[in-house]
Amino acid sequence: MNERDSAPGGLALVEALVNSLNVETGADSLDTAEGRAAFALAEPDVPAARTLREALRAACLAHAGHCSDDSPLCVLDRLLADAPLRVTVDAAGGAALCPVQEPPGLTARIAAAVAAASADGTWARLKACEAADCQWAYYDRSPAGRRRWCSMSVCGARAKMRTYRARRG
C-alpha cells in the first residue's frame, strides 16, 4: 500500500481540501479553475474555503500531537456549526448524517464527513505531517496510530537525517 493512499470514505474530501495547498511550494490548487471545480467552488467562495482548509489542517496537526494553540480549532468548530445536518434513514434502516441544503456547499459536505468519521473512529487518524515544510494531510493506517510523517521515505528520512547530522555535528 502506498504511504499516500487516500483516506477512507468522506475523509478523502477533507484530506483533498487540506492538501489543496502545497505548504512547501506555496502552490494552491484553489487558484485554478480546475482546482475550484474539484470542490464545486465558485471564485467568490475561495476565501471561505481557505479558512476552512486551514482550520482542518489545525485539526489534523492536533490529531498528530502538533497543535499548541486551539484558536484554529475554535474556528473549525464555528464553521462546522454553521453547516446544519440532518439524519436520513435508507430503505434498509441505515442512518447517516447529510447536509440540510441541496446541493450542499463545501462546509456542509465537510461537516457530514467529519461527523461520519467521528462516529466510526477514523477522524482522529487523519493527521498532518510533522515536517513544518510539508504538513501534508494523510490517513494514519499504522496499527498503533502513531505515524509522524506523510511519507517515511521522504519526510521521515529527512527528519532522521537532520537528527543524525545534529548528533554528529
Domains annotated on the chain, with CATH: 11-168 (1.10.3300.10)
pTM flag (> 0.95): no
H or E segment and range at residue 126: strand 126-128
Q: Give 1's pLDDT tier (boundaries 50, 70, 90).
A: very low
- Distance of alpha carbon 2 from alpha carbon 39, whole angstroms: 24
- Asked if residue 153 has pLDDT above 90, the reply is no
Percent of the chain topping pLDDT 70: 94
